[in-house]
Amino acid sequence: MKIWKNMREWQCHRSATGNQSIGFVPTMGALHRGHVSLVERCRRENDLALVSIFVNPTQFNDPRDLNRYPRTLDADLALLQQAGVDHVLLPAAEEMYPDSYRFSVTAPALTGIMEGTHRPGFFEGVMTVVLKLLCIAGAHKAYFGEKDYQQYRLVSELAKEFFIPVEIVACETVRAASGLAESSRNALLSDGARARASCIYEALSNSRCVASAKAEIEAQGLEVEYVEEHWGRRFAAAKIEGVRLIDNTPLR
């Protein structure tokens, strides 16, 4: 497994890979089973598997949230090595944003619901860094988890809008036995909080309507930010022990 800290050097190497297909999994580290499932599919469907680890500062509207985000680089690299990844991109913030945050991507018509409403500036940061990473990677396919379904839809539109020749692939959410969606933020929760947080999946899957789903989540002591339905799916965001979790399920 080759680690690249200089993105220009990776791009030079990328141009020499010839006709080999490249699959790309962008991550912010703190890897879990959900990431592994993306990597495994990427590995199966491409000649080369490429993963990036970059905690993107521009998508955090609360500096405390950025500081709390788990960073487990050594464990992450060992996991990627075991999963058979060929290349890992480890850019520094100074390289990704050499002149601070001069340029950003906005799409107000697409980001005015759910995460876009409750996390000001979040999607601008996501779209900007994903655009940069897709251009750097030069991959044929890029893999995104359905837990962040709104993000997946936005990235798909972004790739089309900017004529990036990459297929954006959605991968099913990986869950614990309780139904809790795998997330890097789960590591910040106590065992009891993780058990209670499984109510999000239960409510989204089984409640009759949005209002009853919200009530069921709140009954477990979580602070609900939203429960909404879009694109044939039901979405929720809620906080427990100060940790913000999101999830979604297809409508039955």
C-alpha dihedral (69, 74, 79, 82), degrees to nearest 10: 170
Q: Which two tokens stand for residue 163?
A: 């004529």
Domain hosting residue 224, numbered range: 184-245
207 within a domain of the structure (yes/no): yes
Question: Do 128 and 53 share a structural domain?
Answer: yes
- Classify residue 25 by its DSSP letter: E
Residues 74 and 139 in one domain: yes
- The reply to whether 106 and 219 lie within a common domain is no
Question: What's the confidence (pLDDT) of residue 197?
Answer: 97
Do both 198 and 153 map to the same domain? no
Q: CATH number of the domain that 42 lies in? A: 3.40.50.620
Q: What is the DSSP string of 112-159?
A: SSTHHHHSTTHHHHHHHHHHHHHHHH--SEEEEEGGGHHHHHHHHHHH
Residue 83 lies in a domain: yes
Position 122 scores a pLDDT of 95
Q: Is 176 among the domain residues? A: no
Q: What is the mean pLDDT of residues 15-31?
A: 95
Q: What does the mean pLDDT of the chain come to? A: 96
The last residue of one of the domains, among 127, 144, 171, is 171
| Backbone angles phi and psi of 82, in degrees to 5 | -65, -30
Residue 118 a catalytic site member: no
What pLDDT score does 64 carry? Answer: 85
Spatial CB neighbours of 178, under 8 Å, sequence gap ≥ 6: 194, 195, 198, 201
**In a shared domain, residues 46 and 161:** yes
pTM of the predicted protein model: 0.95
Evaluate whether residue 250 is within a structural domain: no
Shared domain check, 188 and 166: no
Please indicate, yes or no, whether residues 151 and 204 belong to a single structural domain of this protein.
no
- Residue 215 clears pLDDT 90, i.e. is over it: yes
CB crowding 234-246: b at 16 or more within 10 Å, else e: bbbbbebeebbbb
Distance CA 18, CA 34 (A): 30
Share of the chain above pLDDT 90, in %: 94
Instruction: Return the amino acid letter for 10.
Output: W
Residue 179 falls inside a structural domain: no
Give the pLDDT band (50/70/90) at residue 23. Answer: very high
- Is residue 147 assigned to a domain? yes
Q: Are residues 118 and 226 in the same domain?
A: no
Residue type, 59: Q
Q: Are residues 161 and 193 in the same domain?
A: no
Residue 22, in any domain of the structure: yes
Q: Which of 79, 70, 43 is nearest to 184 (CA)?
A: 70
Please indicate, yes or no, whether residues 67 and 33 belong to a single structural domain of this protein. Answer: yes
Go through 116-129 and write b for each residue having 16 or more CB atoms within 10 A of its CB, e for each that does not.
beebebbbbbbbbb
DSSP conformation letters of 43-98? HHHSSEEEEEE---GGG-SSHHHHHHS---HHHHHHHHHHTT--EEE---HHHHSB
Instruction: Read off the pLDDT of residues 87-106 as tens digits, 9 standing for 90 and up.
Output: 999 999 999 999 999 999 99
For the chain, what is the domain count? 2
Q: Give per-residue pLDDT as tens, 24-57.
A: 999 999 999 999 999 999 999 999 999 999 999 9
- Among 111, 140, 171, which residue terminates a domain? 171
Give the CATH number for residue 225. 3.30.1300.10
Specify whether 239 is located in the same domain as 193: yes
The number of beta carbons lying within 10 Å of the beta carbon of residue 233 is 15
- Say if residue 133 is in the same domain as residue 192: no
Three-state secondary-structure class, residue 100? strand
* Distances, alpha carbon 244 to alpha carbons 12, 43, 51, in Å: 39, 31, 25
Name the pLDDT band for 239 (thresholds 50, 70, 90). Answer: very high
Using the 3D structure, point to which of 149, 171, 193 is the last residue of a domain.
Answer: 171
Is the CA virtual torsion 41, 46, 49, 55 positive or negative?
Answer: negative
Write down the catalytic residue from 35, 87, 140, 230.
35
